[in-house]
Structure formats: C-alpha cells, structure tokens
Structure 1
Amino acid sequence: MSKQMMTLKKLSGLSNFSISTVSKALADNPEISVKTRNKIKGLAKLYNYSPNLTAKNLKERKTRTIGVIIPNILAHFFAKVLAGIEKEATEQGYHIITCISDESYEKEVKSIEMLANGSVDGFIISISKETFVKENYQHLQSVINKGLPVLMFDRVTNRIDCDKVVINDFESSYNATKKLMRSGCKNIVFVSPIHNTSVGLERVRGYKEAIEEELIYKGKQETLIIEDYKRFSKDFLEFIKHNKVDGVMAADELSGIYTMNLIIGAGFKVPEDIAVIGFTDGILAENSNPPLTTVDQHGTNLGSIAIKKIVNRLNNATETKEYKTTVVETTLIERGSTIFS
C-alpha cells in the first residue's frame, strides 16, 4: 500500500477501529485508552500518515492563518516585530500572510479586502500614515463586524475598539528628554517623520511635557519641533546657531541618524556639542558613528505578545468582548551620541 496515499479511512480499516476512534486517538483524546492510542499512532507512523489540514480547517471553519499588515518592511522596528510574530505564530500552530501598505491607505484597504475573503482568521495591523491623515477606518470596522478579530500594534487609533499592543511612547519620550536635560542640554529640538501618527503624537507630547515642566520651574527651554526633518537640512546651520541647539530628540532611528550626520557635516561634534537620542534599537543605530543612543521598543517581544493575544481572542471568541491594550515597557540604550554621568 502506498504510504503517500494513506487516509484516515484506510487507517481505520488497517487498525480495525472506527474512523472516529482513529481520529480521537491521533488527537490524544482521553476518551481513547493509551493502549489503543499507541497502536493507532504506530500504524500512522508506519504508513506515513499525516492529517489533511485543509479538510480539518474547513470543518472547523478556521484557516489557522493570521493576516499581518505593516507600513514599512525596511524599518528595523517592523522587521523585528514581524520576526516575533512569525516565531510565535509557528509555536502556536499558525501561519501568517504579510502585506506591506507602504504607508498607503489604498494599499491597506486592498490588503484587508483581499485577506478578509476567507483567507485568514484575523488581522494584526500597524496603521499607515495615510490612513491617519484620512481618518477613515471603515475597512477595519467592516472586518470586525464580520467576526474577524483585529489587533493593532504600535500605530493605533481609539476610534476602533479592538485589542492593541503598544509601547509607552509618551513616557519613553518624556524620560529620554529629561535625561538630555539632566546631562546639561538646554535647547533640545524634537525631530520627527511620523508626526501625523499616534506614535509620533505621543512621542512629541512626551517631549513637550518635559520641556514645559522645565520652562515653568526654571524659566528655561522652549519647544523646538521639526516635523519635516529632511527640509531641516536646508537651513540647518542657521537653525542650530539661532536656537543654540545642544540636544536632539528624534522620533525614530533614521531621523536620529540623519540629524546626527547633518550635525557632524555642519562642523559640530556629537555628543560634545549636540547630544542625540532616537527610537528603535536597530542595526543602523548600533553601527552609526558615533553609535546612536536609542529607546529600545523590544519589537520581537511586542510581536510575540500580539500573536498570543489574537490567538487567545480566536480561541475564546464567545467568552468575552472586553478589549485590552497591552503596554510594552521600553529600555534606553546609552551609546556614543550622548554623555550621561
């Protein structure tokens, strides 16, 4: 008998047990005795039997697949989150289908529509910049209304009720800004390419809070915010001279390194003249010159948590409708772009 053609029905005939008993034995159902389970498993191994997962999934009305939509695969943070999602999904017995919105609302909508037609059991998504600008989240609400769970991570919106996994963006930015102040920085600029996202808004809010506290208590500091950091380069030298900038708080890794390069190109020293802190502990931050001090967002762990939460939601869909936001604590990694005592 061909091993490749082995089916549950044929295995039933070989073992002299019903199809139901064979199925339960292979699933380690305690209704079946250990002796019978071992006998059936031995035959299954001998004849190279493997269950028809497609048929099983159709019966259970599950694909055991999660759709993952991220704005940018080149950003180290999203790559780390994706790695955490992939690893944990495999351990949970799930597959993932990854789509990249490329910061486009249209691509995000098309990805949702394509996967929501029976391809996945739920979605993990970080919202694109364009979606935030349009403030249109109907595509997400639609799939939730169909019974497909949605989990948002990193970039989220309060206009959709669902599970969320985020970092403490406000607190992280606030603490990093305070750290620059304690190191002697008196004029700190905030640089951001993500000002129109939930993440960017929370990070600039943390920066502002730290600056405004200093202004109230000591009569120093003013908020200096650069939203389009690439335009910053045109009049950079004049800007930092006029504002006597001695510290930079960057909303992500690339803007931190870009700004640091502009500083050095303008003849200033990092960190002696101007100290720099960014977000995301990526390969670029670790290998820049000098290495960039960063807020580590623990992306791999965040991805792992996201999968656990959505799988738990899928397995307990009828038990609770209460949605929760999980906050992942960050860590400041001190490197050569700052001098802390």
Structure 2
Amino acid sequence: MAELLKVHGSMNQFFILDQDELASPLTDDQLTKLAIQLCDENNHILGGADGLLVVDHGTHTGVRGRMQVVNADGSRASMCGNGLRTVSRYLSEKYGKDDFVVQTRDVDLHVRRQPELAPGIPAFAVEISPVSFTPESLPYANLGHQRLLETAVPELAPQLKFTALSIPNPHLISFVSQDILDGPTLGQLGQFLNGDNPYFPDGVNVNFAHIDGENQLFVQTFERGVGFTNACGTGMSATSLAFVLTHPEDGHFDTPINVFNPGGMVKTIVHHDRQRYWVELIGNATVTAKLTVGDSMLQSDQLTATDFKIDQTNEQDYYDQFVKTVVSQRHQ
C-alpha cells in the first residue's frame, strides 16, 4: 500500500508522495497524470490541491532528500517555498533530523525546524534562493527595460510600478493600494501574462502587495500553473526582497517581516551577504490527513476519493484558531 499526506503551508495545499516508499517509482508521465487527478477538486479527493510534492532520496550526497514540484495542471515548478516547509517536516520526522539540506530542481536549500507558531502548529524555516534580476532568468522581453525595479511599465498596467526577479521561480511584484488589491487587476494581469502574450513567454507569478506598516505586508499571488492561491512561498519571499530594496523606510534587512496572506501569515528575513541575496521563509507545516491507496491505483486514470483510506488529523483545528488570531493582529 502507498501512503500520501495532505498538507499545507499557509493554506497553500499539497499532496506529498514519497517515491522511495513505493515498490516501483512512478515515471514523469505517471506523476503528471497523478497530480492532475489529485489536485482536481471535481474528483473530491479532500478538495483537491495546488500541487503534488514528490519526495525521494536525491541524486547526490549532502542532502537529506529531494523535492520535485508538480503543479495542479501537470507543469513543473523549480521551487515552492510553502511546499518546502511541509516536505522539510516530512523528512525531519522520517529521519529524526531538525537541520539539514533539501535538493530542489535548481539548488540545494538549507532548512531547519522552528518553535511552533502557536500551540499545535509545527513550523520550519527554509532558505529561498538564488536571486536574479536579469530578464533572461524570468524570462521577459519587449518591455523596454533590462531591469524592472519599482519601474513604470505601461504595457502591463497604468499607474502601477513593477519589480521583476527570479527566486528561483519567476515573479512580478507591484505594491498597490487596498482598492487595487481588492479589485480585478491582479486576476486580469495574471491570466494575461500566463496565456499567450508578448512579454513573459513562459508565464510568471504575479504578486500584488499592500504595505501595512513597518516590516509588515499583505501579499496576494496569481500563481503560474495554478491561478489564485491562498499563499505562495517564493512569492512572499520575492515580495519581501522587493520591499526592502524599494521601500527601505518601511522594510528592513535582517529583520523579521510579517507577511500576511489569504491563508494566514509567515515571517520572512531578507539577507544580503557577499553580493548575494537570500530569504528565510518561516511558517507552518501542517498535515491535515493521511491517505492510503494500493500502489497500482496511483497509475489509474480514474482516481476518486473512494479509492483511498483517509485518516484526518486534528491539526487544521489548531491552524484555524491561529488564522483568527492573525486576522485580528493585521487589523489592529
């Protein structure tokens, strides 16, 4: 029998599958089909998810394990910050380690267990890097600039300024008023830039942020390959970096930043050392259910909830209480 976990980081929802625990690992095509089926809310498998996180032992020494990210539409992401926290918890509990390195598609990243965010809410800090501001790293073209750093880009939206960077996922960031944040612009821009367009040929994650005060943000993300999500870990990290670079009166290096999102809150710490930027992302790693299924069913084209034995945990109750506290804290 195969076991999967339903997990979330800031309500960014995933399934975790450990390939090392299977009699026969799934092929890339099989993982794509599995992710699409698991994540489709119409299949009624615990409400679907934003992606499938595939874990194995890694391809080189010095790492505790490897994480691969399969988006809800079957596409691949180079990294996922919220997902990395949940994978870090899984590997920590599997191997009994609290400080180690995880291999991702492009880079090995340091992770470590943190004190609980609140009672019943395990937390991890994960490294988010590397950072690049070059148009080739996203990529983008036809915008009239070799670097976007709080830059007016009339091709994208009137009266807004944008920052573009990869971390390593590609992100476009704009600091906006509450009215713009609540309006349709983010959805319209996200859909346009993740369809056939002349500016971002591979698509891009689009983040709108509201500055709530010193070292405090609210971030909403339209995620490439997913759409609107409750939170995006690399998006909150990229936005935090853009915050301290372009609004130094409010955002500070080497200082915890409270980043609120529709799924709760994380903390980020932006670092610059030896001409290198990197971000610590600190937040919950919540397991909501354990699912058991026959190994052969993972290759089925017609998975439904009835194919699984599902055991719910009580961790979501603790997280819901945390979110109530977070919402109250943001509006104080």
Q: TM-score range by the shorter chain?
A: under 0.3
Q: Highest CA radius of gyration, 1 or 2?
A: 1
- TM-score normalised to the size of structure 1? 0.25
